[in-house]
Chains A and B, each alone.
Chain A
Amino acid sequence: MKKRTLGIFATVMAFNTLLAKAAWAGGKKASDLVVVADTRLINSEIMRYFADLYNTNILLFAVWAVVLTAVMGCVLGWLMDKVMERTGIDLHSRKIVEH
């Protein structure tokens, strides 16, 4: 009985998935979302560099995004470490006091 219920449930789920896929495939093909950064308005050299990179080489732009995210994570971690240190919590050494 349990096996039969599971079988029916699996069939219904598979049918549901197929139906949803058919509905998605039936629509008109969506066009790509293309964004061009307007570099005519930028005066800052660094902003111009990133805007140009976004327009011309999206892969290098993605590499920059990853690098900068990692750097920001490190800076935030270091800052939080300093804050915790000032509250008196020692995070540098681990002492087991229970034993």
Chain B
Amino acid sequence: MKRIITILASALILSCLTIGSAFAAEVVQGKCLGYDTAAATIEVEEYDINFSKDHPYGHSTGIRSLFNVKEAKIGITPETGDVLRIAYDVKGSQKMALKVMNVSKQDLSKK
């Protein structure tokens, strides 16, 4: 009986931990073009991952994306021109932001 409980508890813990693989979000980084608090949207000009000394956040790809931030956790309030990193999920035609990090005002690499 004790053995069965141990096996069941282990299976439960393992399934709880492996269920995490179902959680996957896309990440984008880019320049903030506008933050509409009324509509809860952020428009971003996406950057690539070719980092250099002159372009520490990457180069602009020219792609503009609109994110719905209604349910997102937002750090330092984004302003136009700030570099943002957004974790998001695609739901239908909308990009639903989960977390918004203000990279230029909260650069961890500077510390």
Residues of chain A whose beta carbon lies under 8 Å from any beta carbon of chain B? 31-41, 49, 52-53, 55-57, 60-61, 63-64, 67
11 CB-based A-B contacts, threshold 8 Å:
A31-B77, A33-B106, A34-B99, A35-B106, A38-B29, A39-B27, A55-B98, A55-B99, A57-B20, A57-B23, A64-B20
In the bound complex, do residue A36 and residue B24 qualify as a contact, i.e. CB atoms below 8 Å apart? no
User: B85 at the A/B interface (Cβ < 8 Å)?
Assistant: yes
How many residues on chain B are close to A (CB under 8 Å)? Answer: 28
Q: Complex: how many Å from CA A40 to CA B70?
A: 24
In the bound complex, do residue A56 and residue B24 qualify as a contact, i.e. CB atoms below 8 Å apart? yes
Residues of chain B whose beta carbon lies under 8 Å from any beta carbon of chain A? 13, 16-17, 19-21, 23-27, 29, 49, 73-77, 85-87, 98-102, 106, 108
In the bound complex, do residue A34 and residue B101 qualify as a contact, i.e. CB atoms below 8 Å apart? yes
Contacts of B24 in A (CB 8 A): 52, 56
Q: Complex: how many Å from CA A32 to CA B78?
A: 12
Tell me the smallest distance from the CB of B75 to a CB of chain A, in Å. Answer: 3
Contacts of A56 in B (CB 8 A): 23-25, 87, 98
Q: Complex: how many Å from CA A25 to CA B13?
A: 42
Not counting A55-B98, A56-B23, A57-B23, a sample of 4 additional A-B residue pairs whose C-beta atoms are within 8 angstroms of each other reads A32-B73, A32-B75, A52-B20, A55-B25
In the bound complex, do residue B27 and residue A60 qualify as a contact, i.e. CB atoms below 8 Å apart? no
In the bound complex, do residue B108 and residue A35 qualify as a contact, i.e. CB atoms below 8 Å apart? yes
Our pick among B19, B23, B29, B106 for the contact of A52 (Cβ within 8 Å) is: B23
With A34-B75, A34-B99 in contact, is A52–B25 under 8 Å at CB?
Answer: yes
Q: Which residue of A lies closest to B48 (CB)?
A: A40
